[in-house]
Structures are given as structure tokens and as C-alpha cells.
Structure 1
Amino acid sequence: MSESNMSISDRSHKSDEHLNMNRWHGELWNDECLNDERLRDDRMQQTRYMEQAGQKEARPRIAFFITSLAGGGAEKVVTMLLRGLDPAQYELHLIVNRLEGPYVPLLPFYVQVTELQSARLRSALPILVKQLKRIQPHVVVSHMWENNVLATLANIWGGFGYGTLLCEHSAISYRRALGTDALRGWCYRRSDAVVGCSEQMGMELHEWLGIPDERIQVVPNPIIDHEFEARAAEPCSHQWLSQLSLEQEMFEQQVGQPKERFMLEHGAERRFSPVLIGVGRLVPEKRFDLFITAISRVRELHPHWDVRGVIVGEGVQRRQLEDLKDALRLQNVVDLPGYVSNPLPYLRAAHLFVQTSDVEGLPTALVEAVACGTDVVATCTATGTEEVLCGVHNAALVPCGNMDVIVSKLIEMLERQEQQWLQRFEPQQLELKLDMGLEMKLGAEIGMRIGMDQGQDQVQEQQNASPRGGVAILVPQPDELHTRQVPYKLPLAQSVHASHLQRFTLTEATNRYAELINEALARRGWHHNSAGSEVNNCEITVRI
């Protein structure tokens, strides 16, 4: 009996034959990784799961397919899902054209990696079919539309009969080459499920590609995991932002008054110095040219502000953006530090997160900014952005590509922050004390209780002294709900209800993907009872 005609249950016993033929990611782990206590503990935990798996019956083989592990949102999603799914329940594979990108070191060692190494992805179909014959997956979970098409065509060409979950990460309405939508629609209607990362994308799948509603599944990207708060609390290495975060909080603990007031009393100039941040790949659709130009415009309109900008990310447009920065004489005003493995401390320390994209699926950096409590100005892309910002009060939506509105909203948000900043110089503000009730994490937790009178404009003074001796802070007005006050920010924003952020957790996404995988297995006679991972459960708690 040929491999292509074998039943799924017969194929399951071929797993050991393929084990040594696959490239184990464990070979890529170096001494530096193993010296990291967190990674070492993670590996020990994963090893226990593998030992348990060896005592069970053969597991279904699940292959994730993506071009590479470059520093984009889809690549991060694949990495997190591979870390979240239970290796005791699934034999996990990753198929990439090139094993490259910043997320490679984050792959669990038990994931078996296959590289196609095709000169061009569009010519990779014969190589993909050959590798799929070797792996014999039961379900393929592909990401990005080109890979979705290849996974479908390979299934038909090779006669495999595996289940397909085809995942989209960008707006369907975004203009692409002629015939792309027809090809995608034809392939997607032959899948077990088409996964969109936002509700609006789910609607576009139906309206633009004609996918039946029963085949469309909406699963928001996993962005918040059990390590999110710890990563957000790490110190920021950028010199502009580090001065706005933990260093200032420690200064206040030692000196007993806000740094601005202390410096003013000693002759220092009082000047509002906000830092704006953008995060993403340096590609045309992110429109970081608008980000840089907007900073130039804001500085022209408010020369008394020392506005600066940081763009975290790497990509093909670096040279153009550097040239634009030089042309606008912003050499020491806008910084492009490149890819950063942990952007959360940057987001947490910045005054404003600015999204200027024309196209987004579900903007990862935007969710992270909201979870960090950072004020937001974001372009209203066709999908994702409105859903993320629904109910978020410290955010403003602006039309895509409209420079005048972007600049106007930036100034409006910064003026409000400036007023809060200026009030830190007022003597009466120094009398506000922190008390237990609302917890902030700034390296260590500081408890405080905020008293607000809903019928008055002024924040009422709390009489109880802080157990830490009292740290001055300006409490935001209830109608503004500005939860961040330079430099105080919550790793998980007060202004967002816990259930809103829960949608973007690794636990939520892992369980949903596991359900879809198990449904695809059941259609092919494999009755699998696993839920998601039990390793990386994540609960979001917002303390109010």
C-alpha cells in the first residue's frame, strides 16, 4: 500500500521513522540560552511532557507552515502557539522556507523543523509536497495567504487528505495582484476552517472571498502570556525612555518629591519632553514616513516642547526612513534602534504609542500598548484596530493617511499630558499620598487608594499616609480616565476591563486552535480529547 493511500491511523505509526529525518530545533540552542534560568526551567518542564508523551499512544502530527520567523505579528503568533500547545498531546512540526528571524531562539526544542529552502516561495510547491510526504501530517495550520494557497494545492497534488486550518493576518480588502482573491477563495472553500484574527476580518472573508460563514472562525492573536507583566516591568535600555520610567520612580522614593520640582528648585529649565513610539516592521504599509513627518509638524507647532520619537523594528524601508529623518533635520530627534526582542518596556515608558499603518490584521503592538496603559493615537485600519480600542478611553482613532488629523490628535493628547505634567510643580499636588487599594507594579508593587468625587473636577486628598512614606502623584480625572501619569504606568491598563484583554491571551488562543485542530482530526476518524495547553495558562487581572 502506498503512503498516499494509507489511512490516518496507519500513518500515525510512521512517526518514529521520521523523527531522525527532521531537524530538531534543540540543535540551535546555544550555551547562552541554556544559561538563562527561565529557558532552562522551561526546557525541563517540556522534557517531562515529552517523557509523558512517550508513554502514550502515537500523537497526531500537527504541522505549522509559515515563510520564516521574521519579526512580524504572524511569525510571533506561530511561535507562541507552538509554545502553548501541549507536546504530550500533539507531535508538533514547523515548516518554513527559511529558518531565520528573531523568533527562532524562542521555539520549543521539541518542535521538529523542516526548511524548504526554495529560491522563491511561489516555486516551492514541489519541495513542499516532497516534505509533506515525509512528515505525513494529520493537520496543517498555515499562516499568510501565499502559504495558505500552497498548503491547499499541496494537499490536492499529493492526495494527502490532511486537515487544513488557513489563517489570515492582514485585511482581505487590501489591494493585491489580479486574481489573488479568486485563487484564495477557491482554496479557502476547501479548508476545514479559515481563521481570521478579528471580527472585521471574518466579515471580509465572507464578503470579499465568499467563504461560507460556518467555515469562518475568529481567533484573536495570542499576545499576552504568563510572562507579560514580568517582561513589561523590565528596565528600558533606550536612553530617552529610561529616564521616564523606573529611574524617575526610584528618584522620587529617595528624594521625596517629583524630579521635575526638585530640578526646578535647583535652577533647571522646566520643559515638557514627550517621547512618542512606533513599533513594527519597516515596510510601506506601516507608513512610518507619516510618523516621522508628524513629529516634525508637532515640533514646528509647539517649539516649546522637546518632542522626540522612537521607531522599534527593522525592514526594507530603513534607508528611506533614515533619509527622510535627515531631510527633516531630525537626526537627534527620531531614533530607529532596530528590532527589539522585548518592546514592552519601551511601550510602557513612552508618552504616546502612534500607529500610522494603512493595513493591519490585528495589530500586536497596539494590543501591547493598551495592555501597558500607554496613551494611543492610531489609524483606523479596515480590520482589527477598532476592535482593540473599543472601550479604551485613553486612545484616539484617526483616518488612515490623513496627516492633518494625526497631528491634531497628537497635539490634543500631548496638551492633556502637559497639563498633568505641569500640575506636578504645584505645591498642593505634593500633598497627595498613596495608600493601599490600587496596585502598581514598577519593579515592586506600590499600593495606593485613589479617592475621586464624581461630581467635582478636583481630585480629593487622601488622609491616610502611604506605608512607604508617601509618594506624590497626580491622580487623573474620572471623566478623562488617563490611567498613565508620567512616569507611572500599569503593566496592565486600568482603563481596560480584564475581559477585554483576556481575548488576546495565549491561553484563549491555544484552546481555540486546539478545538479547531481536534475538529479537523475528528472528521478524519481521529478521536482526540485534548484541550489546549496546560503549561502556559494565563490569567489577566486588572486591579481597580
Structure 2
Amino acid sequence: MVNLAQGMVERGIRVDLVLASAEGTFLDHVPAGARVVDLRSRRVLRSFGPLVRYLRRERPRALVSSMSHANLVALWASRLAGQGTPVVATVHNTMSQSTRRNGRLAAGLWPRLLRAFYPWAASVVSVSRGAADDLARSSGLPRERMEVVYNPVITPGMLALARQAPDHPWFAAGEPPVLLGVGRLTAQKDFPTLIRAFAEVRRRRPARLLILGEGEDRPVLTALAAELGVADDVDMPGFQENALAYMGRSAVFVLSSAWEGLPTVLIEALAAGTRVVSTDCPSGPREILQDGRLGALVPVADPNALAEAILATLDRSPGAVPLDALTPFMRDTAVDHYLRLIEKAR
């Protein structure tokens, strides 16, 4: 959302970033021309009343919402505010996978909520074709009403960040190749499969594994690396402000996720010129990697297949990614698409 706001600000459009609670490191990256509106709500659902008041007071041209709970609040608030503010509701994940893992109640309730609220949207946007298809199947909403707009991942300043030197001794000259994983240490990212695959890679050749991110699975992952005898070659230094610097110096970027919506980190790795290997999870990797032409795709939760793909990729010379493969993920492409949707809602 910050990248989208930056692109709109650069075109002279007034942008408010309306947040349930204005906190977090991303605030440091809010573009200078955008105004942050803090609704001072501890939870998204509690921001409903403040959002209604904001819409009545400011009467914005359109409201672009992001993530499932925020979409419902935005649609409901816009309807109650009575100002006719069109809502572009954006879905960032594979709905069936997300709701299934939140329990049977959520799996049954969410489709009903989507069918009730999403028809109020001027546009429903999914960040990948796979996520849009899944949303239609799991909610019963018409697929033809859904737009696909890839996240505005690639920005003019991105490549400069990728060229910076990462602060880690494993990138020194003469060290073994580094495999890189990035993401929250949670079940969705399935880093146990990556560590098991790495153990097989390490058995057959020198290599090291870095996993950037934090989350509740850290103790499990640490124990697994020790159990497999690769603890000395696995490091999890936590969240890093500039993960692109690590991508730019890594031998292979590996996405081991069980599910996604559109994995931003996979796009960033390609843009940084890094060779990639990914699970063929729902949704996004197959679209990003053009059915495997830009990087290997392997079955979900298959450490052996992942290890073989990593080994084959390490033996392959890096090649430049065609510009047209990255264009759909550029910021200006997404800004153009969202502005067309907003204009259409008039």
C-alpha cells in the first residue's frame, strides 16, 4: 500500500493513508506527500466508527482497502457514511487456505460474509489470478467481477537497495554459497521443509542457509536444524530492514510456502537478479515464474524435490530476467490499473 501511495503522490494525487492504528516500522517509508490518518483503534473491527466519521468529514474520491477484515469494515463504513464513496477492496491471500487454518467456524463464516459485503464494492481486486479463482470458488462470487492487479513491488529505488552490502559474514569472498529464505516464521511459510531440503543439499555440497524473519516457529526451526546436524550452517538473524541486500548477494532464493496470495519476496528476488526456486503453492509462484521458465517449481512440502531443484539451480549459470516478465509487478503498472478502476467507479 505504501508503494501504491508513493506512485499516486508522484502523479500529483492527494493520498490519505487511513490506519486503524498508526504504528510500525513501515511508517518510516510513508511518502512525504501522503497524509497519515490515525483512527486510534486497537483492532481493525473497532475502527468502524472512526472510519465512518472520516468518510463523512473528508468525502474522499475513493477508498482502497486491503486485507479481509479491513475490506469488510471499509465496505460497511462506506455504506453507513452515506457519501457514496466507492470502495476498491483488495484481497492479498488465498482465501480458502487462510480461512481453513483459522478453524471450522471461520471456514464456514467467511464465505457468507464475503457474499454479503463484497457486492457493495465498486471493484474487488485480487493480487494474482490464482487468488481470484480461489476467491470465486470459496465465496461463490462471480469471477468476472474480480480484477487482477499485481502488487506494485518493483520501484525505482529497489535495485539500489539490492546493490547494498548485507551485514553478514557469510557473504565474504571465498565463503560457500548462501541459500536465502525470507518471511515470518509461521506455518504458512513452511520453513521446516526448507531446512530439511537444505540438510540434503549440505550433505552433497558446501552451502549455508539464511532465513530472515521472526515468528512463533523460531524454537521449532532451531531444534530441527540441530536435529538434522546443520545448526552451524543455518542462521536466522531475524527481521532485516533491507532484505534486498541479502537477495542481491545470495546464490539462490528459496520460497517454501504452503500457500500465498502473491509472494512479494519472490518478485523482489527476481528483480535483484537472484536465481529462485519455489514451491508450486496456491497462489502466485506459477504466475510469477511463468510456469517454471524463470525458476524451478516443486510440490508443496516435498523436501527431496526442493533439494534437487536447489542443487540443479546452483549448478546453473545465472541469467537475466526479461524486462517484460517484471513489468506487471512494477509500481507504475499497478498505479495505472487502480486509477482506471477508480475512474470507472465514478
Q: Which TM-score applies when normalising by structure 1? A: 0.58
Report 1:350-365 matches (<5 A): 350-365=250-265
Cα–Cα, structure 1 residues 363 and 175, in superposed 2: closer, same or farther, change >3 Å?
A: closer
Q: Which residue of 2 aligns with 1:158?
A: 81
Q: Is residue 242–residue 349 contact of structure 1 (8 Å, CA) maintained in 2? A: no
1:500 aligns with 2:325: yes
1:204 aligns with 2:29: no
Q: Which residue of 2 aligns with 1:67?
A: none
After superposition, the C-alpha distances for 1:371-398 in whole angstroms (9 at most, x for unaligned) are 2232222111111110111166452111
What is the DSSP-based 3-state SS (H/G/I as helix, E as strand, rest coil) of the residue aligned with 1:189?
A: helix
Q: Which residue of 2 aligns with 1:81?
A: 4
| The structure with more helix, counted as a fraction of residues | 2
Letter aligned with residue 507 of structure 1: D
Q: Which whole-Å CA distance do the structure 1 matches of 2:32 and 2:9 have between them?
A: 13
Q: Which residue of 2 aligns with 1:287?
A: 190
Q: Of residues 139, 142, 145 in structure 2, which corresponds to 1:215?
A: 145
What is the DSSP-based 3-state SS (H/G/I as helix, E as strand, rest coil) of the residue aligned with 1:217?
A: strand
Q: Which residue of 2 aligns with 1:59?
A: none
1:379 aligns with 2:271: no
Q: Which whole-Å CA distance do the structure 2 matches of 1:112 and 1:242 have between them?
A: 42
Q: Which residue of 2 aligns with 1:366?
A: 266
Task: Specify every segment of 5 or more residues in structure 1 that has no aligned partner in the other structure, as ranges.
Answer: 1-77, 245-271, 418-481, 485-492, 523-544
Q: Which whole-Å CA distance do the structure 2 matches of 1:118 and 1:508 have between them?
A: 33
Q: Is residue 75–residue 87 contact of structure 2 (8 Å, CA) maintained in 1? A: yes
Q: Which whole-Å CA distance do the structure 1 matches of 2:304 and 2:241 have between them?
A: 33
Task: Specify every segment of 5 or more residues in structure 2 that has no aligned partner in the other structure, as ranges.
Answer: 100-105
Report 1:262-281 matches (<5 A): 273-281=176-184
Report 1:130-145 matches (<5 A): 130-145=53-68
Q: Is residue 213–residue 240 contact of structure 2 (8 Å, CA) maintained in 1? A: yes
What is the DSSP-based 3-state SS (H/G/I as helix, E as strand, rest coil) of the residue aligned with 1:412?
A: helix
Q: Which TM-score applies when normalising by structure 2? A: 0.89
Q: Which residue of 1 aligns with 2:103?
A: none
Report 1:39-438 matches (<5 A): 78-86=1-9, 89-176=12-99, 177=106, 178-243=108-173, 273-299=176-202, 301-302=203-204, 305-390=205-290, 393=293, 395-414=295-314, 416-417=315-316
Letter aligned with residue 196 of structure 1: S
What is the DSSP-based 3-state SS (H/G/I as helix, E as strand, rest coil) of the residue aligned with 2:232?
A: coil
Q: What is the Cα deviation at residue 190 of structure 1?
A: 1.4
Number of positions where the alignment pairs a residue of Structure 1 with one of Structure 2? 339
**Identity in percent:** 32
Q: Which whole-Å CA distance do the structure 2 matches of 1:209 and 1:226 have between them?
A: 37
Q: Which whole-Å CA distance do the structure 2 matches of 1:334 and 1:106 have between them?
A: 30
Q: What is the Cα deviation at residue 500 of structure 1?
A: 1.2
CA RMSD of the aligned region, Å?
2.2
Query: Could you say which structure has the larger radius of gyration?
Result: 1
After superposition, the C-alpha distances for 1:319-357 in whole angstroms (9 at most, x for unaligned) are 433343344444431111222222222112111111110
Letter aligned with residue 14 of structure 2: E
What is the DSSP-based 3-state SS (H/G/I as helix, E as strand, rest coil) of the residue aligned with 1:407?
A: helix
Q: Is residue 235–residue 242 contact of structure 1 (8 Å, CA) maintained in 2? A: no
What is the DSSP-based 3-state SS (H/G/I as helix, E as strand, rest coil) of the residue aligned with 1:311?
A: strand
Q: Is residue 223–residue 505 contact of structure 1 (8 Å, CA) maintained in 2? A: yes
Q: What is the Cα deviation at residue 88 of structure 1?
A: 6.4
Q: Which whole-Å CA distance do the structure 2 matches of 1:127 and 1:320 have between them?
A: 40
Letter aligned with residue 288 of structure 1: F
Letter aligned with residue 318 of structure 1: R
Q: Is residue 206–residue 212 contact of structure 1 (8 Å, CA) maintained in 2? A: yes
Q: Which whole-Å CA distance do the structure 2 matches of 1:115 and 1:321 have between them?
A: 37
Q: Is residue 310–residue 336 contact of structure 1 (8 Å, CA) maintained in 2? A: yes
